[in-house]
Amino acid sequence: MDLVIKNSVHQYPGVKQQMNMEFETTRSIQAFKDILCDRYGTSDFMWMSQNWQPRLAHQHTFKTSPQKMKLDVLKCPRLQHVIEEASEDQEVPKEQLYKTVQSILDEIGYNRRLPVIRWLGLLLLKVLKRTCNGLYVNETSINRVLSVMGDNPVIFAPSHRSYGDFILMSYICFHYKIEIPAIAAGMDFHSMWLMGHVLRDSCAFFMRRSFGSDKLYWTAFSEYVQKLVTDGEAAIEFFIEGTRSRTAKSLMPKFGFLSMTLVPFLTGRVPDITIVPINISYDRTLEEILFAYELLGVPKPKESTSGLIKALNMLNERYGKVYVDFAEPLSVRELFQLNGLQRSLPTPESPQDQHTLSANETMFCVDVAHRVVQQQQRHSVITAFNLISIILNNSVLEGSGPPLLNEVVANVSWLKSVMEVLGALIDIQDGPVNVEVAVKEAIAVHKSLVTLTPTNHLKLIKVHTTAHRVNPAKLKGHSMSEHTMGVAVPMVMIQHYLNPCLHYLIGPALVTLVMWHLDDAVEITRGDLFQNFNFLRLLFAYEFAFYAAWAEKEFDDAVKQLEMLSVVEPTKSDRLKLGNHRKLQILLLNLLQPFLEGYLTVCQLLQQTASDPCSESLLLTSTQRRVEELLGSGIILHPYALSLDMHSAALQALTALQAVNRLKRNGMVLYQAQTRKLLEVTQKLENLKFQSEEKFHPSSTGFRHFVIDGSQQAKL
């Protein structure tokens, strides 16, 4: 059928333009209110047991319940159909499959017990008051969310950096009297003794990580999610990144769950869906050490309640401030129109069939997912420690020795002004005194990672101890030496804290990198520059969650910003050349260093070993081994190049670039180098990397100056 429906997004009298996807310039740190501040000096118990009448995300006249929803799903024609099919195929009686589905739904389904929520909230409140310097919520932005709630399904899409995220989200909802959202949680929590129940009663529903082939499970789950969207009165909360980002950078968004939630809109069952991207920024991440080990290949301990109790030791730590900001709610309907799409008219369809997304609809989901991630990034709050980490990292790579406190303060001030030009919101008051206060506070909060020596030098603490040793058989990657681990753990942690700044810096850094390596031609046309930029953007697509469709826009923005910062200058012939802001240029290049090193090593290794198909785990292990060797010989400077996440991101990108071939054999994932293309990529990378060595002369022993042994520190 051909549709002659024209795009109806045209102006008519009296209509004000509603969409404003551009960056909001009105964000200010003043809008953030510490919602814990009124909890001091009053009874937490009274607060958590208040008469609570929440605002609903989507009001219905017909009230459903968690139990009824499961029952409705069980009765739905699609599930019935799949049961019948499976019963015939597998020759299993229908009744049995019916029971299976029932237990699947019991495994998935959320519950809502207000008393449990209240008690959990009380516990959380006590913990927060003990460990945090404040839970800062942007009230202007949450009021904006409240103003659009009520008429259609709402999705909360927070960034995911810590287990703390969804507990905090629920507490914030309680605080602002918003119905506790139904939260998509991973199965790992489900198996935790007691906690599984507690979370379920606090509105969590559970999702298996992989269920590609299990049609019964898939149908039950997607029907359940659609039921939540169409019939639920609470918002649905899910993490678009799929998992906690161990690196504190945004992960490439996942599209599966999102597209499930959008189906009711695409099929005309609901008028619109509101998506609220949310950023949660932590001064200090609860899992900082665990994440560092995981990135290096030491597996995360299985979520267990005893592990949780052990984690209670963390109650004696300080975690600084937490910031939560709600981006402008996205109307799926408006986005759909903005993309020039029209919902396809529902053609006669079997109620037994699942709606399969058309190519356009799939593209749309990808677009929405990236927008959500982009909005999460743009609503982050940068703290003093993020900037200190950049400075410290830079000092290490420059080999200039541990910086003095006053140098750090001066550099933080400078970097703050740079980051503000790039659009970051930074929680440091202006003025040198304020910066110094903020820096000192940050060092105090992160006293387990950095310390000031009596000579006022800022040094790293060797976090790694023998206590962290694990059975080499359990390692995901290569078993590294104690020495390497001693250097790597704190450096990876520092990287964890500078990473949140990277989405502001990455575009400018890539442009700068290309410009820095211009051979003889000092000037470059925008077109050539974009070609090179785009190559790097494709190569780092999975590292920085780049969306291909936005390459040009981001390039233009980056060049504009760099011009403002005097890093590049336009010439008379409308070409570009490097500007005179040498300090920032070097800082940007240093930020890219570990990624260039890591990616290059992956390429070289593939070149050498993967002419025949090679398993992923073998590749990861040998890459890590090679990086360790190169670190030892001083060819690689930054231990972050050891990160397994980086290596797998590199493999994904190389697959997308067709420099390697991804095969599946007997359920094993294998990679095979596509020699010619891989060589091309490797050469480009080598050209970008090697020259940088000439610029700096770090000593391989440089780290030693930076890292203090924990025990030593204790004596200090």
Partner 1 sequence: MSADDRLKVVARHLGVGKNVFHTSIAMQLCSSENKTSDTAQGGVVLPQIGPSSDARKPRRSKPVKSVIPKNRQELLKWNGWGYKDSKFVVENGIVSFTGNRYAIGNLSLPYFTEWVLEKFDVDLNSGKIADPVPKQDNFPSPIVDAGFLDELHCLQISFSLDGVDRLIRSHGHTLHDIFILREGTFERIPDIVAWPESHDAVVNLVQLAEKHDIVIIPFGGGTSVSKAVSCPREETRTILSLDTSQMNRILWLDQENLVACCEAGIVGQDLERELGQQGFTSGHEPDSYEFSSLGGWVATRASGMKKNVYGNIEDLLVHVRMVTPSGVLEKSCQVPRMSCGPDFNHVILGSEGTLGVITEVIIKVRPLPQCKKYGSIAFPNFESGLLSMREVAKQRCQPASIRLMDNEQFKFGQSLRPVPGYFGLLLDGLKKIYITKIKGFDVNQMCVTTLVFEGDPKDVEHQEKKIYDIAAQYGGIPAGEANGERGYMLTFVIAYIRDLAMEYNIVGESFETSVSWDRTLSLCNNVKHRLKKECEAAGIRHFMISCRVTQTYDVGSCVYFYFGFKWNGVGNPVTTYEHLEELARDEILASGGSLSHHHGVGKLRMRWFPSQVSKLGVELYRATKRQLDPKNIFANGNISKQNL
What is the contact surface with partner 1 in residues (CB under 8 A)? 1-6, 8, 12-16, 18, 61-62, 151-152, 230, 268-272, 333, 342-343, 345-346, 351
SS3 label, residue 107: helix
CB of 341 to partner 1, least distance (A): 11
Q: Is residue 508 a contact partner of residue 592, using CB atoms and an 8 Å limit?
A: no
> Which CB sits closer to partner 1, 230 or 624?
230
> Which CB sits closer to partner 1, 81 or 254?
81
> Which CB sits closer to partner 1, 194 or 345?
345
What gap in Å lies between CA 157 and CA 476, rounded to an integer? 30
> Which CB sits closer to partner 1, 271 or 307?
271
CB of 80 to partner 1, least distance (A): 15
CB of 234 to partner 1, least distance (A): 18
CB of 547 to partner 1, least distance (A): 27
Q: Is residue 276 a contact partner of residue 138, using CB atoms and an 8 Å limit?
A: no
In 3D, which of 471, 500, 47 has the Cα closest to residue 285?
Answer: 500
CB of 228 to partner 1, least distance (A): 15
Sequence-ordered alpha helix ranges (H) in 191-318: 195-201, 215-231, 256-266, 288-296, 305-311
The first and second tokens of residue 62, run together, are 């017909």
**3 state SS for 469-497:** CCCHHHCCCCCCCHHHHHHHHHHHHHHHH
What gap in Å lies between CA 327 and CA 321, rounded to an integer? 19
CB of 346 to partner 1, least distance (A): 4
Spatial neighbors of 531 by CB under 8 A, at least 6 apart, are none
Q: Is residue 576 a contact partner of residue 528, using CB atoms and an 8 Å limit?
A: no
CB of 109 to partner 1, least distance (A): 23
> Which CB sits closer to partner 1, 60 or 560?
60
Of the chain, the end-to-end C-alpha distance in Å amounts to 78
What gap in Å lies between CA 695 and CA 268, rounded to an integer? 60
Q: Which amino acid is at 485?
A: M
> Which CB sits closer to partner 1, 112 or 333?
333
> Which CB sits closer to partner 1, 307 or 346?
346
What gap in Å lies between CA 405 and CA 436, rounded to an integer? 9
Task: Report the run of H or E that residue 372 belongs to, with start and end.
Answer: helix 359-378
> CB burial class (10 A; 0-12, 13-18, 19+) of residue 483?
middle
> Which CB sits closer to partner 1, 12 or 40?
12
> Which CB sits closer to partner 1, 225 or 392?
225
CB of 122 to partner 1, least distance (A): 35
What gap in Å lies between CA 460 and CA 55, rounded to an integer? 47
> Which CB sits closer to partner 1, 8 or 701?
8
Catalogue the E-assigned strands of 350-497.
450-452, 458-462
What gap in Å lies between CA 424 and CA 390, rounded to an integer? 15
CB of 17 to partner 1, least distance (A): 9
CB of 5 to partner 1, least distance (A): 6
